[in-house]
Structure 1
Amino acid sequence: MATPEPELSTPKSPQHDAAPSGAGNLHDDYYSESFTANGEQAPLMSDDLEITEKKSLFSFIRTKDFWIVLVLGQALSILNVSDSTFSALLAREGTSIPAFQTFFFYAVLNIIFTSVTISKYGFKRWLHIVRQDGWKYFLFAFCDVQGNYFVILAFRYTTILSAQLINFWAIVVVVTVSYFVLGVRYHYMQILGILVCIGGMGVLMGSDHITGSNGGQATDAVLGDLFALLSATFYGFSNVVEEYFVTKRPVYEVVGQLGFWATFINGIQAYIFDRSSFESATWNGHVATYMVGYTVCLVLFYATVPLVYRLASAAFMNISMLTSNFWGVIIGLHVLHLHVHWMYPIAFLLIILGHFVYYLGQAGLEEARKPWLGHDQEGGVSGLFTARRRLEQANAAQHDDGEEDASLLGRQHS
C-alpha cells in the first residue's frame, strides 16, 4: 500500500524574526541557514510529524545527537580552560590586561562574522539589521561583555573556590529564565542530572580545599563574591538570549552582531579601566603567542556554542562547563606543572554521569525542539542542528517515499 503524501500545513504564527525584510532567497553554506523569498521560513510539509522511534529510558544512547552534543560540550569545556591557561601564562609574563584581551577577541569575532553576514545579506541589508534589531543585539552583547568583565574582577578579590561556587548561580539563572520567559519545561530527570553534575563539581571544589589550591586568601571576599554573582547573572541571561537568537536567525548574523556591538562596549570599558595596565604590560614574542592562542580559543568557543544551543540547550551547555576544572588540571600537568588529586577522576565521572542522567527518557528531537518556535518549529531558522532542518528532511524523505510508492502502484496498474 502506498504511503499517503502528507498535506502542506500553514505556519501557526507569522515570522517576524527569521530574516531582515527583503532578505531575498538566502542560503548559507557555512551554517546552512535558509529562508524563503519573502523572508519567512517555508512551512513544514506535515503538521503532526512526531518522533517515531520507540521511547525507552535509555533511548538517547542510541541517538547520534546525544554523542555529538556530549563531545561538543566537552570541547567547549576544554576551549574554556585553554583560554584561561593562556591568561595565566600572560600573567606570568607580566601582562595582565584582561579587558584588552577580550577586546581583541571581540574585534576578531566582529571581523570574521560581520564579514560573512555582509557577504550573505549585502551591506544595505546588514545596515537594516543594525537599525531594526541593533538594540536587541546591543543588550545581548552588553550582558556578554559584563559577564566576562566581572568574572575577571571576581578572581582579583576572592578565592577561586568562592568564585566557582557562586558561578553555579548561572545555571539557576538559565533554568529560571528559560522556564518563565521561553516556556521551557524541564523533565525531572533533567533536574536530577543537573544536581548530579553540581555534586561532581562539589567534589572538585572539596579536593581544591583539601589540597589548598583554592586560590589562597581573599583580599576582599565580599566584594569578590558580589562580582562573581554579577558575572554569573550576566552570563545566564546572555546564554538564554543567545539560544533564543540562534534558533531564529543564522549563526553568522547572531555572532557577527555580538562581535560588532561588544567591540564598542568592551573597547570603551578597556580604555577607561585598563589603560594603565596596557601601558605597563610586558610585550615580547611569548606574549604575542599567548594572545593569539587566547583569541583563537575564544573565537572557536563562540563559533561552536550556538550549535550546542540548537541541538541541546543553554542549561546543558552550562553543566558541560562544570568539567572545566578537571580539564584545567590535565592541561596544567604539562603547562603549569600542577598535579591531579585522587578525587578529581571521581568528580569528573560524576559530572559525566550527570550528563547521561540529564538525557534519561529522552529521544530524537526532544531538546532540539524549542517551545517558542511553535509545534512544527515554524518560527525558527532551518540550519545545522535545528529541529526544523531535520523535520524538513524527514518530511522530504516521506514525500519521496510516497512518490516512489505511487509510481510503483501506477506501473503495476498499467
Structure 2
Amino acid sequence: MAKSTGVETHATPVGESYKSGDEGLRVSDGSHSMEMRNENDDVDPEVVAVGIEALERKQKHWYSYVLTRDFWIVLVIGQVLALCITGTNTFSTLLVNKGTSIPAFQTLFNYVLLALVYTTYTIYAYGPKKYFKLLLVDGWKYIILSFLDVEGNYFTVLAYRYTNLLSAQLINFWSIICVVIVSFTFLKVRYKPFQIIGILVCFGGMGLLIGSDSITGGTGSSISTQVKGDLFCVAGATFYGISNVFEEWFVSKRPAYEVLGMLGLFGIIINGITAAIFDRSSFHGAVWDGAVGGYLVGYTLILFTFYSLAPVMFRMSSAAFFDISLLTGNFWGVIIGINVFGYSIYYLYPIAFVLIILGLVCYFLAGSVLGDSRKPWLGANQEGGVAGLGTAKAKAVREARREGVVGGGSV
C-alpha cells in the first residue's frame, strides 16, 4: 500500500471544491447524493479549530496520549494487522510447501474482492458520471499506488520460494526506513525525539529476532538461496514502504472506500499483467487440490481484512507507526511456526516482542494528544483533509459538539 513522491499537499478551504489536477472534483461524505467532495467538508473550519483547541487543553501530561482510548485502539489494530500479515505469510509458506508458488496470481483474488466491495460502493455513492470523471482526473495517481502495492505483494510472496516464514518477515525492518525517508522528504513530517527513540527500541527488538534466527540456525536454506530470498524481501519492503506513505496521504484526503476501490480496480489489471508475465511457467507446474484451494481462500480473506483495516490505522496514526506495529508479526510468526512448521523457539523471542511493544508506547510519549492523526500536510486545522473515521478532523468536530459549539449529528 503506497504513497507517491510528487503529491500535492496544499490545503483547500472547507466548502470549496477539492481540486484534483486542473478540474474541481468534489469528494462527498456519507449522503448518497455524493457530489464528490470530502466527507463532511461542509464543516465550518472554525468549528474544527475550536475542537482541536479543546482537545489540546486536555493534554495535562507529556505522556497524555498513551493514556487515551485512541492510543489503545491503535495499538490493538496494529496487532490485528500484524496477525493478518502472519496469517498471509503462513498461507504463502503452506502453498510453497505444497509445490504451488504463484506469487502474483495468488494475490489477484484480493484485488478482485476489493473491487467487488469497494469499487461497487464507490460507483453507487458517486454515480457513474462523477465516478468516471474521478477516473479521468485522478486515475493516474491510483495507478501509481496500485503498481507499488502489487509489486510489493509480488516480491514478498516470491521470497517464499527461497526463504521461510521467519526470515521473510524481516521485510518490515527495511520498509520502516523507507517510510521515514519518504514521509520526511515529501510530506514534511518531522519526527519528535521520543518517536525516534521508539523506532530505535523497535529496531533493537528486531535485532534480537535476527540474532535468535542466526543462533538457532535460521532457515536451513543454502546461503545463495537465502541471499536471493533476502533480496526479494528488500524489494518488496521498498515497494511497501513507499506505497504505505502514499496510501496514508490518500486516505487522509479521500473517503477510504474510494481509495480501496481504486486500489482493487487497478490492482486487478496490474496484478493480472504481472501474473501473465511471471507466473506462466510456475502456474502450469503448480499443484492444484482441495488444500491449495483452501489456502488461497484463507490468504484472500485475511489479506482483504488487512486492506480494509489499514486506512483506519493510517488515519489514526501514521505509515511509520503502521510499519513498526507490524514488527510484532515476527513474534506471532514464531508462534505459528512452532505449531505449524515445527520451528523451535529461542528465549530471545519473548524479550524481543516486549521490546517492540515498549518501542510502540515510547513512539507516542511526549507527543500531541491527537497523536499522528493530525497530518502536517492538511493544514493547521486539517482543513485540507477528510472528516472520516479516525481522522483528527472528525475528532475535533466531535469535541466541538461536546463543547456545545455545534449541534448534533454524526461525523
TM over 0.5: yes
Could you give the per-residue CA deviations for residues 267-307 of structure 1, whole angstroms, max 9, x where no partner exists? 01101110122222222221111111000010000100111
Q: Secondary structure at the match of 1:367?
A: helix
1:375 aligns with 2:380: yes
- Pair 309,166 (structure 1): closer, same or farther in 2 beyond 3 Å: closer
Aligned pair partner of 1:342 in 347, 356, 371: 347
- Pair 362,230 (structure 1): closer, same or farther in 2 beyond 3 Å: same
Query: 1: distance between equivalents of 2:220 and 2:387?
Result: 45
Name the counterpart of 1:173. 178
Aligned pair partner of 1:112 in 110, 117, 128: 117
1:309 aligns with 2:310: no
Could you give the per-residue CA deviations for residues 35-59 of structure 1, whole angstroms, max 9, x where no partner exists? 7699954332344542111342321
- Pair 188,24 (structure 1): closer, same or farther in 2 beyond 3 Å: closer
Query: 2: distance between equivalents of 1:200 and 1:38?
Result: 39
Query: 1: distance between equivalents of 2:212 and 2:220?
Result: 13
Q: What is the CA-CA distance between 1:216 and the residue it aligns to?
A: 2.1
Larger Rg: 1
Task: Report the more deviating stretch, 44-53 or 167-176.
Answer: 44-53
Code of the aligned partner of 1:45 = E
Name the counterpart of 2:255. 250
Name the counterpart of 1:15. 18
Q: What is the CA-CA distance between 1:401 and the residue it aligns to?
A: 8.4
Q: Secondary structure at the match of 2:141?
A: helix
The two structures, once aligned, show a CA RMSD in angstroms of 2.9
Aligned pair partner of 1:239 in 234, 238, 244: 244
Identity across the alignment (%): 48
1:26 aligns with 2:44: no
Query: 2: distance between equivalents of 1:143 and 1:37?
Result: 25
Aligned residues: 391
- Pair 229,390 (structure 1): closer, same or farther in 2 beyond 3 Å: same
Name the counterpart of 2:293. 288
Contact 1:15–1:40 (CA under 8 A) maintained in structure 2: no
Code of the aligned partner of 1:316 = F
Code of the aligned partner of 2:224 = T
- The equivalences for 1:43-192 within 5 A come to 43-46=44-47, 47=49, 49-50=52-53, 51-157=56-162, 167-192=172-197
Task: Report the more deviating stretch, 265-274 or 338-347.
Answer: 338-347
- Pair 303,235 (structure 1): closer, same or farther in 2 beyond 3 Å: same
1:266 aligns with 2:271: yes
Could you give the per-residue CA deviations for residues 287-338 of structure 1, whole angstroms, max 9, x where no partner exists? 1111110000100001001111100000001101111111011123332233
Query: 1: distance between equivalents of 2:390 and 2:244?
Result: 17
Name the counterpart of 1:204. 209
Name the counterpart of 2:282. 277
- Pair 326,259 (structure 1): closer, same or farther in 2 beyond 3 Å: same
Name the counterpart of 2:218. 213
Name the counterpart of 1:42. 43
Q: What is the CA-CA distance between 1:123 and the residue it aligns to?
A: 1.8
Q: What is the CA-CA distance between 1:166 and the residue it aligns to?
A: 6.2
Contact 1:86–1:293 (CA under 8 A) maintained in structure 2: yes
Q: What is the CA-CA distance between 1:208 and the residue it aligns to?
A: 1.0
Output the TM-score relative to the length of structure 1.
0.86
Contact 2:156–2:233 (CA under 8 A) maintained in structure 1: yes
Contact 1:43–1:378 (CA under 8 A) maintained in structure 2: no
Code of the aligned partner of 2:269 = F
Query: 1: distance between equivalents of 2:29 and 2:15?
Result: 22
> Please, which runs of 5 or more residues in structure 1 have no aligned partner?
1-9, 404-414
Query: 1: distance between equivalents of 2:343 and 2:27?
Result: 55
- Pair 200,74 (structure 1): closer, same or farther in 2 beyond 3 Å: same
Output the TM-score relative to the length of structure 2.
0.87
Code of the aligned partner of 1:53 = K
Contact 1:57–1:360 (CA under 8 A) maintained in structure 2: yes
Contact 1:41–1:381 (CA under 8 A) maintained in structure 2: no
- Pair 56,290 (structure 1): closer, same or farther in 2 beyond 3 Å: same
Name the counterpart of 1:230. 235
Q: What is the CA-CA distance between 1:346 and the residue it aligns to?
A: 0.5
Contact 1:69–1:308 (CA under 8 A) maintained in structure 2: yes
Q: What is the CA-CA distance between 1:349 and the residue it aligns to?
A: 0.4
Query: 2: distance between equivalents of 1:299 and 1:390?
Result: 27
> Please, which runs of 5 or more residues in structure 2 have no aligned partner?
1-12
Contact 2:149–2:243 (CA under 8 A) maintained in structure 1: yes
